[in-house]
Amino acid sequence: MANKNADNQVSAVRRAKHGWILTLVFSLLAVAWLYPIFLVVINALKKKAFITREPFALPNGRSFFGIQNFISGVEKTQFFSAIGNSVIITVGSVAVIIVCTSMCAWYITRVKNRLTSAIYTLCLFSMIVPFQMVMFSLSKLANMMHLSNPIGIILVYLGFGAGLAVFMFCGFVKSIPLEIEEAAMIDGCTPLQTFFRVVFPIMKPTTITVAILQAMWIWNDYLLPYLVLDLKRYKTVPIVIQYLKGGYGAVDWGTMMAMLVLAIIPIIIFYAACQKYIIEGVVAGAVKG
């Protein structure tokens, strides 16, 4: 008995040491990941000359420029118009992706036939097709179908975001007991009522996870809006920031850094508010394969 207690104490000491080591390692990794963001923030407050001369130094009496970079950036880029377009595209795309793919995943999982197997296979296949293979034909097709606007591009994002979302939702639906849905149907629910009143609320962890992943991708996406949108009328935040780069490689670094700070604030707030559901949703979707 005494030997067993001694072994338990040794194991506890080892776990504690390993815990400190892991904490130190992950703390260093966190600092390494956050340091570039820190550099962007401090350089957004500097004068242009000091950004290239002393990029790693903190703002001081000579280099501090306050909010002038932010004011200049907003005036040069029509930032508020761009952020409005980005909000419409991101919110609309995420909402459409969640509703359509969750229903599709439920149908695929509950109805077993060749059609559903083919749909699931196509969704998985869409995740491995490089975007470069389809971007020119996509641009031409979007123009022909008059999708070159913030509402039309939502359908394009639905096509590109469906693969991952269907995969995650299918994994979660497999973990939902079928008896719950059968009880709802016995009580008189139609299939749509069963899904929206019973199944969809249970999907909350995976739904939030999908929403975060898709929102981060769509908000920061540059290439797809650049190819699809009519840039004379509609620009997103990444596109207007890129327009701060002048000819022959000239860049107003102060203004660009300021606009980058404004661009990442909304998505960081959204991620911070919902990040606790990410691991829960991923694990829930992997309960059954």
Structural domain total, the chain: 2
Closest CA to 74 of 259, 251, 276, 273: 259
**Which has more confidence, 220 or 52?**
220
92 phi-psi bin (left φ>0, alpha ψ -120 to 50, beta other): alpha
Domain residues for the domain of 106 are 68-285
Same domain (yes/no): 105, 31: no
In a domain, 241, yes or no: yes
Same domain (yes/no): 169, 113: yes
In a domain, 6, yes or no: yes
Same domain (yes/no): 236, 111: yes
Same domain (yes/no): 163, 96: yes
Distance CA 123, CA 135 (A): 18
DSSP-based three-state secondary structure for 149: coil
Distance CA 67, CA 243 (A): 20
Same domain (yes/no): 6, 108: no
In a domain, 194, yes or no: yes
Same domain (yes/no): 6, 110: no
**Over the stretch 169-197, which tens digit does the pLDDT of each residue have?**
998 898 888 888 888 888 888 889 999 99
**Over the stretch 24-46, which tens digit does the pLDDT of each residue have?**
888 899 889 888 889 888 988 88
In a domain, 49, yes or no: no
In a domain, 63, yes or no: no
Same domain (yes/no): 22, 164: no
Least confident of 83-97, 165-179, 185-199, 275-289: 275-289
Same domain (yes/no): 12, 116: no
Say if residue 73 is exposed, middle or buried (CB neighbours under 10 Å; 0-12, 13-18, 19+): buried
Place of tokens 């919902």: 274
Same domain (yes/no): 91, 27: no
pLDDT of 8: 54
For the CA atoms of 75, 77, 78, 82, what is the dihedral angle to 10 degrees? -150
**Over the stretch 111-124, which tens digit does the pLDDT of each residue have?**
988 999 999 998 88
Same domain (yes/no): 116, 224: yes
Is 284's pLDDT higher than 80? no
For residue 189, what is the domain's CATH number? 1.10.3720.10
Is 150's pLDDT higher than 60? yes
pLDDT of 282: 55
Give residue 87's pLDDT band: very low, low, confident or very high (50, 70, 90): very high
Is 88's pLDDT higher than 90? yes
The token pair at 270 is 């959204």
DSSP for 186-216 reads HTT--HHHHIIIIIHHHTHHHHHHHHHHHHH
pLDDT of 288: 45
In a domain, 55, yes or no: no
In a domain, 135, yes or no: yes
Give residue 287's pLDDT band: very low, low, confident or very high (50, 70, 90): very low
Same domain (yes/no): 118, 11: no
In a domain, 61, yes or no: no
Same domain (yes/no): 76, 35: no
